[in-house]
């Protein structure tokens, strides 16, 4: 697949190709990267003759992180500290 100049025209813009043993794994990996940065989402999968696996492509913008959905925000596990008065 050809990479067009506008997809990498500025610092922070990247094109990734993910290759995995199967369509579901390649698509999931590209989709998970889209949870970290603004993304086009995975492309339609393709197979390159003579190469193992199935590939997908995604366009990412590392300059912007997506906003997490409220149900995706989880506090870190651990004990909560009690309020302490120092010096007593």
Q: pLDDT for 23-39, tens place per residue?
A: 999 999 999 988 888 88
Question: Per DSSP, which regions of 1-88 are E strands?
Answer: 13-20, 38-39, 54-61
Rounded to whole angstroms, the Cα distance separating 5 from 37 reads 20
**How far is CA 71 from its chain centroid?**
18
* Other Cβ atoms within 10 Å of 87 Cβ, number: 4
CA dihedral 44, 47, 51, 55 (to 10 degrees): 10
Which is nearest to 12 in space by CA: 39, 41, 35, 42? 39
Give the model confidence (pLDDT) of 39-85 as tens digits.
Answer: 888 999 999 999 999 999 999 888 877 666 555 544 555 544 444 44
What confidence score (pLDDT) does residue 28 get? Answer: 94
């Amino acid at each position: 697949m050809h990479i067009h100049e506008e997809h990498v025209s500025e610092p922070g813009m990247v094109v990734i190709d993910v290759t995995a043993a199967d369509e579901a794994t390649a698509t999931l990996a590209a989709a998970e990267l889209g949870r970290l940065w603004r993304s086009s989402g995975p492309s339609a999968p393709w197979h390159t003759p003579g190469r193992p696996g199935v590939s997908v492509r995604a366009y990412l913008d590392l300059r912007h992180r997506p906003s997490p959905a409220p149900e995706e925000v989880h506090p870190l596990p651990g004990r909560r500290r009690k309020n302490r008065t120092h010096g007593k």
